[in-house]
Amino acid sequence: MRRYLRVVVLCLACGFCSLLYAFSQLAVSLEEGAGGVGGKPQAAAASWLGGDGRGAGRGVGSSGSAAHHGRSDRYGVKMQPIERVHLAVVACGERLEETVTMLKSALIFSIKPLQFHIFAEDQLHDSFKGILDSWSFLQTFNYSLYPITFPSENAAEWKKLFKPCASQRLFLPLILKEVDSLLYVDTDILFLRPVDDIWSLLKKFNSTQIAAMAPEHEEPRIGWYNRFARHPYYGKTGVNSGVMLMNMTRMRRKYFKNDMTTVRLRWGDILMPLLKKYKLNITWGDQDLLNIIFFHNPESLFVFPCQWNYRPDHCIYGSNCQEAEEEGIFILHGNRGVYHDDKQPAFRAIYEALRNCSFEDDSIHSLLKPLELELQKTVHTYCGKIYKIFIKQLTKSIQDRYDRPPKERVNRRNVGAHDVRKGRCTVCQCRNSYQFIKCNFKCLKTIALLHFNI
């Protein structure tokens, strides 16, 4: 009898060890497929840089594709891929604070993990790295830092076009070759709802559309392009490139119609000829070049409403963005330097509220009442008279994210820790096997139950 008991105990011990080994291998494999804030940066070399790698990203994270392929493990539990939202920004000069505030607004409300691609002058890299590394406890984003990079020929001309470094956005499809889709925003952007929502517009593209932007103006009587432009522009009033959603795979593949040759040109071949032809006729630099390109290729542009790129032009002469009046502002664009002067205090109030808040739930939840009081002081301006549209969507975003019962909230410090529904497990963003097993205990328990049919 003792002999049989020993055999049973030995079999149980072997089975337990096998189970631990299986779990450890699962943890290791998932760590290789999912990134936390840590990780080695990958080089992102532009086509004109050749093989010397001078376009390598510096900092944490990688400029990889938006999602890894899903797979099924040995126990038949389907591992869901993590889709990352890729967000790019270009920062030069005194734009550090603006950029950091924009990134913070993206993190506060977003649901999916974010991949930041930050193009900045070399002297700003250490500051960005110090701030973003201090946010690593969130475990909801990666970032890559890149130097400002232009084609060696005419590099100085590109860098000085319109504002310093602004034209860098034109070359993102050529630099971030491994990235399929990308949301580019100016530094003076503030997200008042999850980045996921504008990212979802990619699914609304038809087969010919490669990018999405908002109109430059809603009211032609105050439009700039239709009154002053000396070059072709898209639609009735042109488009604004401060918020630009791109399917960069399609951009790299497409051959563009143009007015310089009967031959269609690819993205990397059309930019320099356009600049040479129109450089004496353009005022807004790279935005004008984009307007010219989409004037000749209108079928390639998806136009989203003004509430996704709400600027002072939409209210300084009276409200002219109907969608924002109905649903609130989704993305605030503080161009004209309105975050830093007293000309449009409503814009400044939103900026300062988000700049000063922390990532703590109480801090985010408590910013609404003081913000509304500040906005009520701005009613002497046209934008201030409609101040409620500035907080309508912001209030909803905070309620959706932070007013839920604790069990229903999305934990920003451990997104996707465990999600056991219908035999599915989502990947936990943890840095080592111990953290993975700890935060995915429920998922691992489910695997065991499925495996042993308990």
pLDDT in tens, 196-228: 999 999 999 999 999 999 999 999 998 999 999
Under the banding of pLDDT at 50, 70 and 90, the label for residue 150 is confident
**The domain made up of 85-304 is a member of CATH 3.90.550.10:** yes
429 to each of 24, 26, 34, 354, 433, how far by Cα in Å? 15, 14, 6, 26, 11
Q: Are 192 and 328 in contact (CB under 8 A)?
A: yes
Tell me the whole-structure pTM to 2 decimals.
Answer: 0.77
Above pLDDT 70, what percent of the chain? Answer: 71
Read off the pLDDT of each residue in 37-61 and give the average, rounded to a whole number.
41
Question: What's the chain's average pLDDT?
Answer: 80
Read off the pLDDT of each residue in 217-240 and give the average, rounded to a whole number.
93
Half-sphere exposure of 6 toward its Cβ, with a 13 Å CA cutoff?
3
224/396 Cα distance (integer angstroms): 33
**Which of 24-28, 52-56, 191-195, 338-342 bottoms out in mean pLDDT, i.e. has the lowest?**
52-56
SS3 91: strand
pLDDT in tens, 76-124: 444 556 789 999 999 999 999 999 999 999 999 999 999 999 999 999 9
DSSP code, position 142: E
SS3 89: strand
**What pLDDT was estimated at residue 58?**
41
**What pLDDT was estimated at residue 21?**
60
**What pLDDT was estimated at residue 63?**
33
Does pLDDT of 15 surpass 90?
Answer: no
CA-only gyration radius of the chain, Å: 25
Under the banding of pLDDT at 50, 70 and 90, the label for residue 365 is confident
Under the banding of pLDDT at 50, 70 and 90, the label for residue 269 is very high
Q: Are 212 and 205 in contact (CB under 8 A)?
A: yes
Partnered with residue 424 across adjacent β-strands are: 78, 421
Does pLDDT of 173 surpass 90?
Answer: yes
Q: Look up tokens 């449009």; give the residue.
A: 344
Smallest Cα–Cα separation from 393: which of 305, 313, 316? 305
Domain extent listing, the chain: 85-304, 337-406
Q: Are 387 and 353 in contact (CB under 8 A)?
A: no
